Amino acid sequence: MNGPAGDGAARDTAELAARRSYGRLVAFLAARTRDVAQAEDALADAFAAALADWPAKGCPSNPEAWLLTVARRKLVDGSRRMRTGEAAAGQLLVLAQGLEAMEAAPDIPDRRLALMFACAHPAIEAGIHAPLMLQAVLGLDARLIGSAFLASPAAMGKRLVRAKEKIRQAGIPFEVPDHAELPARLQAVLDAVYAAFTAGWADPAGLDQARRDLAAEAIFLARIVSELLPREPEIHGLLALMLHAEARRPARRGGDGEFVPLDEQDTALWDRRMIGEAEGLLRQARSLGAIGRYQLEAALQSAHVHRCRTGRPNWEAVVHLYDALAAFLDSPVVALNRALALAEWQGPAAALDAMPDVETDRRLAGYQPYWAARAALLSRTGARRQAHEAYEIAIGLEGDPAVRRFLQRRQALLGA
Amino acid sequence: MQYMLMVYVDEAKWPAMSKAEQEQGLAAYGAYIEALKQADVLRASGRLQPSSASTTVRLANGRPQVLDGPYAEAREQLGGYFLIDVPNLDAALSWAGRCPGAAHGVVEVRPIWSMTA
């Protein structure tokens, strides 16, 4: 122990430990029992104990080990109270072995990746993968997660509890899959990380602090995966994709808070350091020799950066990148973006022909970017009345007031 | 399942807005209603007169007591409603998030009692 620390210092140390090690500790505590909720409760008790003890007694030299020891005792106590007979004996043996292992090796093995694979297991409903990871690995609360994923806090809380119950009862393993199985299962983890990022990205104004943090948390999750699986190219692709998007955040709004589309953004506001890191990651991914969805999406982001740096658009290359992406992803969004790139290469009429049709793909009916893109292309071909109608639907589907005003200005410019 | 989206807004803000801003605001609601119709979820909607036009009635000692003004004196008042029919709460919340009123006031989402249940 160091000397007595003030309340502030103790809180800072606890917060730092929480930020750096929350997921590591939950993963380690739950690895044997597979009981994530129980591990979270024990850890919450340990943090509370830390905040009570550390200000008076000083911060421990290894806060993580201290927290782990206290949390383990809570687990053993809880287990003693709750279980009887043989089950209790087995449980206690498992816990005691864990304690010994921990004392023998002060470096807590990093099982966060295994925890993420458990959270993104195919037996768990796909829509809850990202929220579950945010809670189990980063300790975010259900209220914040519910808000970012547009679900009621109570409903999100219940779904999280149910998912953790399933991990425990169904025997979902805490392990990184075998090499043969890894690519397919890794995809679910990456998709969940990306879903967390897009939930945070959906608030471009950055007015909602909680959501902005969510994008940063997703990048943090991706960094964990990339550190633990450095030979997997897609994780570097995903990290590059998110950094490219995040780098442009300061340029997405004008000084008056108004929405600024990508092709009108002041590139001087883009974060060079993040772009540099993204480009490096993309090169690293390419050197590993297996292309995938996220690398292609990152390459597309990179193409935008290239255009702004050299002033020379290469729309043909962009269209081909989208063609390649379509091979990985049956998504109307990809088809839509491809059409927009095609408009720059071969004109708006060709793009409208190539666009997916809402009659054949009902997923597009409620998708704002589809209607906004359609409206923009129609106005370029001179079909002002149809463009006006498409803008109307896009405006009605948009939730962000600044984007809505932007679309309204575009609609007004038609003069129809 | 039916949900009522109740839009609460600060009534003082509307008259303070410029004509252009008011038109933009109304157009946003128009587009929102259009989108609700396109998705075939809208069952009813209405914009309410300001709460200064409100009259409140209750029985006091068995006799109707009529009071001038809204039931609750608050800065934000019920300004309009949308009755929508969607599969679940998450879908209702998604529509509430797109409502222009969510940006300058609050939108309360409440399920309607189901008569068949």
A151/B28 Cβ within 8 A: no
CB contact under 8 A, B90 and A150: yes
- Give chain B positions within 8 Å (CB) of A150: 90, 93-94, 97
ipTM of the complex in this document: 0.74
- Would the pLDDT of B117 be above 60? no
Give the closest of A392, A394, A405 to B24, CB-based: A405
Report pLDDT for A204.
Answer: 47
Asked if residue B79 lies in contact with residue B48, where contact means CB atoms within 8 angstroms, the answer is yes
> Can you give the pLDDT at residue A1?
46
**Most B CBs within 10 Å: which of A367, A404, A405, A411, as the mutation test of the B interface?**
A404
Q: Which of A150, A158, A208, A368 to mutate to test the interface with B (most CBs of B within 10 A)?
A: A150
- CA-nearest residue of chain A to B31? A396
Nearest to A162 by CA among A140, A142, A147: A142
Q: With contact defined as beta carbons under 8 Å apart, do B8 and B48 qualify?
A: no
Query: Which residues in chain B belong to E strands, given as ranges?
Result: 2-10, 42-47, 55-60, 63-68, 76-85, 106-111
Q: What is the mean pLDDT of each run of 10 residues along chain A (416 residues)?
A: 60 73 89 89 91 84 86 81 58 58 61 93 91 92 85 91 91 86 89 91 60 83 92 96 93 86 88 95 93 94 81 84 90 88 93 89 87 95 95 93 93 84
Which residues of chain A does B103 touch, with a Cβ-Cβ cutoff of 8 Å? 401
Residues 41-60 of B with CB under 8 A from A: none
Helices (H), A105-248: 112-119, 129-138, 142-148, 153-169, 182-201, 209-228, 233-247
CA-CA distance, A134 to A192, in Å (whole number)?
Answer: 9
| DSSP letter string, B65-88 | EEEES-SS--SEEEEEEEEEE-SS
- The reported pTM is 0.80
Model pLDDT, residue A119: 95
> How far A243 CA lies from chain B's nearest CA (Å)?
27
Which residues have C-beta within 8 Å of that of residue A78, sequence separation ≥ 6? A38, A41, A42
Position A5 scores a pLDDT of: 52
The answer to whether A152 faces chain B, any CB pair under 8 Å, is yes
